[in-house]
């Protein structure tokens, strides 16, 4: 496995080519508009989508970007969580905390449409959202990397962009450089370390056009530089008007962004 040297790695704020700096990388910002369907929710139809809503000028009481009411999930008739109410607004992160077995991963998989809730409703930007709609407007980063082990890193990203779409003016090669994998374009995924696989999954996340990110223990297997990378990505996504749910059991510091906390346990409650 050989890595090419002498190549400058762009940051999230300077991801341009040909030596010319590019404006701050923002999901859906001016010049980085989302490529969306005509019937998309308002959160994606607004073009261009730039900063999080300004409380002095925004429409009064806009609906949450993601909203769940009365959500309940059981496994073999044993309750895992719920009934549970939660919401996350544009420009906001919701930290989902709880001990092992509290249902953090299960909750994110239900919200992503990978598991079916026993009860409850889920809305995106005020509109009911079934599993199909959520697969289009939610990006999920789980414990498993969701990568093809016998494909190269760059080929993996091209395949995933073909399946899930990508943000305009964001290219797979550029995303690899942003997450620190420049020079590994032809390296097979099975030859990467656990931390490098996590970085490749972050590149996939960065390319996604989805406005809602569900991140299940995103700091796992990352060094300090990788943890800072996750925080910068979350900050950029929220500045663009996106929203993020992050699960954590307290082993890592929360991302330095506007956030609330949802604690899962005997009685789940959200705190400002």
For the entire predicted model, the pTM comes to 0.76
Q: Which positions of the chain have pLDDT values less than 50?
A: 1-2, 4-10, 14-53, 55, 267-272
Q: Using an 8 Å Cβ cutoff, are 214 and 237 in contact?
A: no
Tell me the β-bridge partners of 140.
214
pLDDT at 271: 45
Q: How far apart are CA 234 and CA 155, in angstroms?
A: 25
By three-state DSSP, how is residue 138 classified? strand
Contacts with 171 (C-beta within 8 Å, 6 or more apart), sequence order: none
pLDDT digits (tens, 9 = 90+) for 204-235: 999 999 999 999 999 888 889 999 999 999 99
DSSP string covering 108-142, please? HHHHTTSS--SEEEEEETTEE--HHHHHHHEEEE-
What are the angstrom distances between the C-alpha of 78 and each of 75, 107, 265? Answer: 5, 15, 14
Angle at 162 between CA 157 and CA 164, to 5 degrees: 90
Hey, where are the domains in the chain?
A: 63-271
Helix (H) or strand (E) holding 216: strand 212-216
Q: Using an 8 Å Cβ cutoff, are 232 and 68 in contact?
A: no
pLDDT at 253: 63
Q: Which CATH superfamily is domain 63-271 in?
A: P-loop containing nucleotide triphosphate hydrolases (3.40.50.300)
pLDDT at 135: 84
pLDDT at 175: 94
pLDDT digits (tens, 9 = 90+) for 237-254: 999 999 999 998 665 667
pLDDT at 203: 95
pLDDT at 130: 86
pLDDT at 258: 82
Q: How far apart are CA 237 and CA 90, in angstroms?
A: 10
């Amino acid at each position: 496995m050989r890595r090419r040297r002498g190549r400058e790695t762009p940051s999230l704020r300077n991801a341009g080519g040909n030596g010319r700096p590019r404006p701050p990388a923002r999901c859906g910002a001016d010049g980085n508009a989302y490529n969306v369907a005509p019937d998309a929710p308002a959160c994606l139809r607004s073009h261009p989508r730039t900063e999080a809503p300004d409380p002095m000028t925004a429409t009064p009481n806009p609906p949450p970007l993601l909203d769940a009411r009365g959500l309940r999930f059981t496994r073999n008739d044993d309750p895992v969580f719920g009934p549970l109410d939660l919401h996350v607004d544009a420009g906001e992160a919701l930290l989902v905390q709880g001990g092992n077995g509290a249902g953090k991963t299960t909750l994110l998989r239900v919200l992503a449409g990978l598991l079916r809730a026993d009860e409850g409703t889920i809305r995106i930007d005020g509109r009911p959202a079934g599993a199909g709609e959520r697969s289009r407007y939610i990006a999920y980063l789980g414990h498993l990397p969701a990568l093809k082990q016998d494909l190269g890193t760059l080929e993996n990203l091209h395949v995933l962009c073909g399946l899930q779409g990508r943000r305009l003016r964001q290219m797979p090669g550029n995303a690899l450089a942003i997450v620190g994998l420049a020079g590994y374009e032809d390296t097979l995924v099975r030859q990467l370390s656990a931390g490098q696989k996590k970085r490749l999954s972050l590149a996939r996340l960065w390319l996604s056009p989805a406005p809602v990110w569900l991140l299940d223990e995103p700091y796992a297997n990352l060094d300090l530089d990788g943890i800072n990378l996750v925080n910068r990505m979350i900050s950029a996504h929220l500045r663009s008007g996106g929203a993020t749910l992050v699960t954590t059991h307290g082993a890592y510091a929360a991302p330095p962004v506007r956030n609330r906390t949802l604690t899962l346990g005997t009685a789940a409650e959200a705190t400002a």
